[in-house]
Amino acid sequence: QVQLVESGGGVVQPGESLRLSCAASGFAFSDYAIHWVRQAPGKGLEWLAIIWSDGSNQFYADSVKGRFTISRDNSKNTLYLQMNSLRVEDTALYYCAKDPHYTGYGYFDYWGQGILVTVSS
């Protein structure tokens, strides 16, 4: 079965960096676009970034553009999110989510369980 497992979260101070990982299994990872979506505590969902199946294209929400970088290693079935210049408002549960298409239809057919990132001084 499809599994997405996030890791790398934690508590950091404003301005610091963190790298999240998402290990995928149960499907042909290199055939699908993958997203990062976040959810601030008690709040709704916010799409952050997508990377195409072959890694050739990435797109970002304005809220993280220039600070976050999405990447993938298809040989390791792993997705990454490098988060730099973290802000208090980046505090959230971060989900990786699979897209049903290689260039991204834009909806999410499988989700990981999420990893918590807390930015606090």
Partner 1 sequence: EIVMTQSPATLSVSPGERATFSCRASESINGKLAWYQQKPGQAPRLLIYGTSMRATSIPVRFSGGGSRTEFTLTITTLQSEDFAVYYCEQYHKWPWTFGPGTKVEI
Which residues here bind partner 1, judged by CB under 8 A? Answer: 44-47, 59, 61-62, 95, 100, 105-114
Q: Which is nearer to partner 1, 19 or 65 (CB)?
A: 65
- How many beta carbons lie within 10 A of that of residue 117, not counting itself? 22
Closest CA to 85 of 35, 22, 12, 21: 12
We find the least distance from the C-beta atom of residue 83 to partner 1, in angstroms, to be 18
Shortest approach of partner 1 to residue 20 CB, angstroms? 15
Residues with Cβ within 8 Å of 20's Cβ and at least 6 positions away in sequence, in order, are 6, 7, 8, 9, 36, 80, 81, 83, 94, 96, 115, 117
Nearest CB to partner 1, comparing residues 64 and 83:
64
CB of 117 to partner 1, least distance (A): 15
Give the nearer residue to partner 1 in terms of CB position, either 16 or 43: 43
